[in-house]
Structure 1
Amino acid sequence: MLLIFLIASPLLHSHLFIYAASTSPPITRPRIIFMTALGSDNEYNDDDYSDENNPPTEVVSSERIPDVHRETQLCQYNPCLENQESCAQLSAQTGCLCPGVSGPDLPPQPPLIQTLLPIREGENKGQIEVQWCAPSSVVSGYRLVVEGREALKFGNTQRRGLVGSLDVGTKVCVEAVNSAGYSPSSEFSCQRYDPPNSSDHNLLAWLIGGGVALLVVIIITAVILWKYKICLKGKRDSTDGLGNPSYSTEGTL
């Protein structure tokens, strides 16, 4: 029995060793987690760990898109300046914003009349120049309407026109025109001619005023001198009439 046990023990020992080796759990290495710059727990590198059923999660990096706020600017358009590009053309070129305008299917709004200015020099001396500003509407042209005269027509880019000579108080109106009709008259689109005081008139007034003042000074001076002369004469007469008779140039009486 002892002999049989000694022969069988090496075989039993090897069998137990093989079984223990086959049933022992696999040795795994601890997971090493590398933190990213953002400090997220979901992003890591695990080069020493592999699992067919649980592949490492793929991290998609996101890019921050900056918010670009574009400042809107109004178009550099002056409605009182003539022979310039329209606001719509400036907007198409630069992307600027235009003020709201009424469309061509509506009559235009009244223009703004600025001044009635008499011309003092040049070949148009004596005529009156009318200046106006465009309305917030689609305009194809303008008309200058003077009381008792035929209306004068001007292009849509013009902002001034001559109406000849005017009498004081004559009413002048500016009308905007498009395919839908004419703009109505208003207190802003009409004005009565009131000529300003010219420099010649002011000079004449100063001359007249200076002459009158000089004449008054001369009269006052003459009156003062006349009164002073009368006073001296009165004193001399009174001195001659009140002489003492007890005395004479020949001695005592």
Structure 2
Amino acid sequence: MTSLCRNPALLLLFLSTLSPFLHLLFSHANPTSPPVTRLRFIYVTRVASTDDYDEYEDNDNLQKVKASERPAFVHHEPQFCQYNPCVENQEPCSVLAKNTGCICPGSTGPNEPPHPPRIQELLPVRQGDDKGKVEVKWCAPSSVVSGYKVVVQGREGQALEFKDTSRHGVIGSLEVGTKVCVEAMNSAGHSTETEFSCTRYDPPKSSDHTLMLGVIGGGVALLLLLIIGAVISWKYHLCQKPKRDSSDGLGNPSYSTEGTL
């Protein structure tokens, strides 16, 4: 052994011859363990069958049917009734609203006194059997009305009554300035006087009267024109006379009809 340690070449040759035996010895003494492996989890998803597709189609059809059964909501603008309170013999607005679904303006009920009506005009009747009398026209209030009463100043005890669908009435002859009022009535009472339900009679000027005034005005204007023309002509002649006199006086101052100087 001492010689092997002193000779390195021999030592290497000896170790090379022993290496197969050492490898075999260590392999049996220290066996290697197999490598550790991890478990692999495989997730399997459910594959849709034909039955699933049928179920989906049934759900879609059911949703479509439910959607078709829903009532369609259509927005309609509110429509007011074609009702004119100033036109007579009309169908009441309440009846129009019931038949067509339109909207009437707010009105008081039969248990409250009606609002006052509004007078449109007082006009003289110019032809027919009532010629020379006065006709009054009014508009209905937004209330339940059973009739109308026309009261003339100075004839309070002789008021004229008209039905609920009336919008005019003849009240006889009137003097200019006479006050006339129209009242609405129902079972709860009558309306009060206002500046809209009362007016004073002021007849319009007739066409004949206007024509007469035009003729008179035209005659006066023509007379004024004639007077102005005559004055201008007279002034003109006055201005022309001094000029003629001055032209006649010019000549030879030494000349005399009585003889020579």
Q: State TM-score, norm by structure 2.
A: 0.71
Partner of 2:108: 102
Deviation at 1:211? 1.2
Deviation, structure 1 residue 32: 2.3
Return closer, same or farther for 1:199/1:58 CA change in 2, 3 Å cut-off: closer
Residues 1:43 and 2:56 are matched in the alignment = yes
Stretch moving more, 200-209 or 70-79: 200-209
Letter of the 1:80 counterpart: C
Other structure's SS at 2:56 match = coil
Partner of 1:172: helix, strand, or coil? Answer: strand
Gaps of 5+ in 1: 1-28, 37-41, 46-56
* Letter matched to residue 138 of structure 1: V
Q: Which runs of 5+ in 2 are unaligned?
A: 1-45
Q: Distance in 1 between matches of 2:226 and 2:57?
A: 113
Superposed CA offset, 1:68-112 (max 9, x none)? 223321110100000110011111211111112111111111001
Matched, 1:243 2:247: no
The alpha-carbon deviation at position 239 of structure 1 amounts to 2.4
Query: 1:30 deviation in Å?
Result: 4.4
Kindly tell me the number of residue pairs found equivalent between the two proteins.
207
SS of 1:221's equivalent?
helix
* Farther off after superposition, 66-75 or 171-180: 66-75
Matches within 5 A, 1:86-165: 86-149=92-155, 150-165=158-173
- Aligned to 1:153, the other structure's residue is in SS state strand
CA 77–238 in structure 1, closer or farther in 2 if over 3 Å, else same: same
Over the matched positions of the two proteins, sequence identity in percent amounts to: 61
Larger helix fraction of residues: 2
Q: Using the alignment, how far apart are the partners of 1:142 and 1:59 within structure 2?
A: 66
Give the C-alpha shift of residue 59 in structure 1.
Answer: 7.9
- Give the Å deviation of 1:168: 1.2
Structure ID, larger Rg: 2
TM-score of the superposition, structure 1-length normalised? 0.73
Structure 1 residues 187 and 58, CA gap change in structure 2 (3 angstroms): closer
